[in-house]
Amino acid sequence: MDFVLIKNAENADFLTIKAVRHIKEADLLITEFFISEKLSSYFNADCKILNENEYKNYFIDIKQCSPKKIVYLTSDNGLNKTEEEKKTNFFMCLGYKITVLPGISEINRITGQNHFPLTIRHRNESFWVYDGKANTHLHAVEKFKQIAATATTIIIRNPLDQTYSLLSLINQYRNPDTPVLLNTRQNRAIHCTLKDLLKKKAEIVLYQMIVINPSSKDFPSIEFSYQSPLNSNLATG
């Protein structure tokens, strides 16, 4: 018996070939989001569908044979590591072989589509994600100082009014001409620089994601993700 957890599965246009194959083979599908028409077109006719709040009761009350293949679909803002382990352990205890597919995250998709590389070999090979909704009290100020001073791309999701002070903090460590990608809540991409971003204080809550390249105060700004045209092979998404 197989249990497959597929991450970042809400947008059917960005499912991997492997993910679609598993979905088509599922006897039971569990989802934590509204299923689109395109996604539902991959389900086989006999597949039973449950939402994330139903599956435990289903297995408590189940009287028929257990499904041979279960697929669990998460959204881009879905499970953290602890929740993921709880779910996989639940099905492991039921005798299922566990497979986890990472999927294409919203971060990789948006930056890739807009040719804004998160990492470039020998320049920066990591990125750090900060969620404004999850950190409303700004406990991460010291962490921000450490990250801003490194060659790490900074991603701020769901920025709030309080988040603006962190942008000012980043400006203390990075070149004002550092390339920035903004993604609005209407999914419109805007290219600008760090100094441009700091002028947008009143607009900060209009964005769903801010991506800030690593350009040290001591070096010229890194133009790889800001110049046009850009070599699309640099994009990591």
Tens place of pLDDT per residue across the chain (237 aa): 899 999 888 888 888 889 999 999 999 999 988 888 888 899 988 898 988 888 877 877 665 668 899 999 988 766 677 888 888 888 898 889 999 988 777 788 888 888 888 877 777 778 888 887 776 555 567 777 888 888 889 999 888 877 888 888 888 888 888 899 999 988 899 999 999 998 888 788 889 899 998 876 655 555 444 444 333 333 333
Question: Residues, the chain, total?
Answer: 237
Give pLDDT, residue 237: 34
CA distance 44 to 4: 16
CB 169 within 8 A of CB 154: no
Give pLDDT, residue 227: 43
CA distance 212 to 178: 7
CA distance 176 to 19: 41
CA distance 47 to 168: 51
The backbone torsions φ and ψ at residue 77, rounded to the nearest 5 degrees and listed phi first, read -100, 30
Residue 183, strand partner residues: 189, 209
Residue linked to tokens 């920025």: 159
DSSP strand pairing (189-193 vs 179-184):
antiparallel
CA distance 117 to 108: 9
Q: What is the pTM of this model?
A: 0.63
CA distance 182 to 190: 5
Burial class (CB in 10 A: 0-12, 13-18, 19+), 1: middle
